């Protein structure tokens, strides 16, 4: 199999960071060592600055939903053109912590922005570039938010209501069904069981079997 772009998606506390490590280990077991990891928003010097603005805003000023969307796509196009596409051209594998699906789930599903606006921006910025495989970790917000409550300080988006994360999750679920390049994983299982699921999916996928 030629090098691929694999993305891990899900709401806060779904276990993406943990899954990332499992995916890398599984690829190593297949002799795939030429890989890079990315995160969104972030992953380039400019995108990391935008990440701070997206997550924390600026004191005394409301971040509008449209400004949030534009910052996310500015960060994404920097990462795509300066890191992801060059890596894929070199023959490296790319493992992404979030990509474009997050904007549909959070900005359309969560914030309620018009899908036509997001699709127009998406087509202009990304064209037809899409991940080869997306692993969507599905978990109820009431469970995942419990997992992140131990953090000392929640950021601007993490402070959103349970209803917001329910809308995000429902939108994810609506996008996942019917897309053969997105696989859903039950992230309410134990960490061990999630890793077993990832292992099974990736072994089949790498062997070219239908998912
Ligand atoms: N955003 C991002 C948008 O709104 N639109 C976009 O287009 C994009 C790209 C990014 C923020 O930006 C928003 C979404 C986000 O709000 P971030 O810090 O990168 O910010 O946030 P997340 O990506 O959500 O990262 P988190 O760390 O919050 O979630 P993870 O990575 O899914 O969770 P993880 O792996 O760190 O696990 C959290 C805790 O839960 C435990 C772990 O051990 C850890 O302690 N855990 C489990 N415990 C029991 N059972 C399991 N199965 C567990 N899985 C994990």
Measure CA 116 to chain center: 21
Position 77 in a domain: yes
For residue 200, being part of any structural domain is answered with yes
Question: Does 157 contact ligand 1 (Cβ within 6 A)?
Answer: yes
pLDDT of residue 82: 98
CATH number of the CATH domain containing 35: 3.40.50.300
Instruction: Could you list the residues known to form a binding site, using ranges.
Output: 10-17
Which atom from ligand 1 is nearest to the alpha carbon of 75?
9
pTM: 0.96
Mean pLDDT of 100-114: 98
Which atom of ligand 1 approaches the CA of 20 most closely?
Answer: 35
Task: Give residue 1's pLDDT band: very low, low, confident or very high (50, 70, 90).
Answer: confident
Sequence ranges of the binding site for ATP: 10-17
Write down the pLDDT at residue 46: 98
**What would the pLDDT profile of 24-77 be if each residue is shown by its tens digit?**
999 999 999 999 999 999 999 999 999 999 999 999 999 999 999 999 999 999
Closest atom of ligand 1 relative to the 10 alpha carbon:
32
Residues written for the chain:
211
For the beta sheet containing 5-9, the strands, ordered from the edge strand earlier in sequence to the opposite edge, are 35-39, 93-97, 5-9, 133-138, 182-186
Q: Which domain holds residue 31?
A: 5-206
43 Cβ inside 6 Å of ligand 1: no
Q: Is residue 194 part of a domain?
A: yes
Q: Are 98 and 16 in contact (CB under 8 A)?
A: yes
Helix (H, G, I), strand (E, B) or coil at 36: strand
Each residue's pLDDT tens digit, 135-150: 999 999 999 999 988 8
Give the mean pLDDT of the chain.
96
- Total of domains in the chain: 1
Return d(Cα 96, Cα 92) in angstroms, integer: 13
How far is it, in rounded angstroms, from Cα 199 to Cα 41? 26
Note whether residue 211 is domain-resident. no
User: What pLDDT is stored for residue 210 in this prediction?
Assistant: 61
What tokens does 158 get? 């993490």
Lowest mean pLDDT among 81-85, 175-179, 195-199: 175-179
Residue 73 burial (CB count, 10 A): 22
């Amino acid at each position: 199999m030629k090098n691929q772009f694999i993305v891990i998606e899900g709401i806060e506390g779904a276990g993406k960071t943990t899954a990332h490590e499992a995916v890398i280990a599984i690829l190593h077991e297949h002799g795939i060592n030429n890989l890079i990891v990315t995160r969104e928003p972030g992953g380039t010097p400019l995108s990391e600055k935008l990440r701070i603005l997206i997550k924390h805003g600026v004191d005394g000023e409301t971040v509008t939903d449209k400004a949030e969307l534009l910052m996310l796509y500015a960060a994404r196009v920097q990462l795509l053109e300066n890191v992801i596409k060059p890596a894929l051209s070199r023959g490296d594998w790319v493992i992404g912590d979030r990509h474009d699906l997050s904007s549909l789930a959070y900005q359309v599903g969560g914030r309620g922005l018009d899908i036509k606006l997001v699709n127009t921006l998406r087509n202009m910025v990304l064209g037809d570039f899409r991940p080869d495989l997306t692993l969507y970790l599905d978990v109820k917000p009431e469970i995942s938010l419990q997992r992140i409550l131990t953090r000392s300080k929640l950021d601007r988006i993490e402070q959103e209501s349970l209803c917001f994360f329910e809308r995000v999750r429902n939108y994810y679920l609506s996008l996942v069904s019917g897309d053969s390049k997105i696989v859903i994983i039950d992230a309410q299982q134990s960490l061990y069981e999630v890793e077993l699921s990832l292992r099974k999916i990736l072994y089949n996928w790498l062997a070219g079997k239908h998912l």
